[in-house]
Amino acid sequence: MTAVPKDLKKFESLCFVKALKKIYRQKGSPHSNKRRIKQEDFPTGYLCAALALKERRFKTLKAQAQRYKYISVQPQFRIIGSDKDYETLKKHLHCVPVFKRGKHTVSPEISKIKILI
């Protein structure tokens, strides 16, 4: 009746994703009740507090959920110049992380998350 799951990590990540899904439905986009919608990821601190987890445990569970393909996290970037402008932008933009990606100089933005279950 109450059998122990064979893979405890997989079960933990499944429970984690179910809890995340509930939070995203309550606080997220009004369209998040539809299946597989991409929406902006909430800050880690907020989700840790909502799930009563420490940040390190939260990141571990999120990585496991990605490994088992329960969620998909897609990083978003803003193009701020060409690859030729990298050194100048890196020198003059102090509080913004800047790096090269292909032919562009980009800055990271809030990731998009898709829950696949």
* The two structure tokens encoding residue 55: 């940040």
Domains contained in the chain, number: 1
3-state SS assignment for residue 47: helix
pTM of the predicted protein model: 0.72
Check whether 39 has a pLDDT greater than 90. Answer: no
Q: Is 100 among the domain residues?
A: yes
CA distances from 116 to 36, 68, 69, 70 (A): 6, 10, 7, 5
Q: Is 12 among the domain residues?
A: yes
Q: Is 31 among the domain residues?
A: yes
pLDDT digits (tens, 9 = 90+) for 63-105: 999 999 999 988 888 988 898 888 888 888 888 888 898 899 9
Q: Is 3 among the domain residues?
A: no
Q: Is 1 among the domain residues?
A: no
3-state SS assignment for residue 71: strand
pLDDT of residue 48: 92
pLDDT digits (tens, 9 = 90+) for 53-67: 999 999 999 999 999
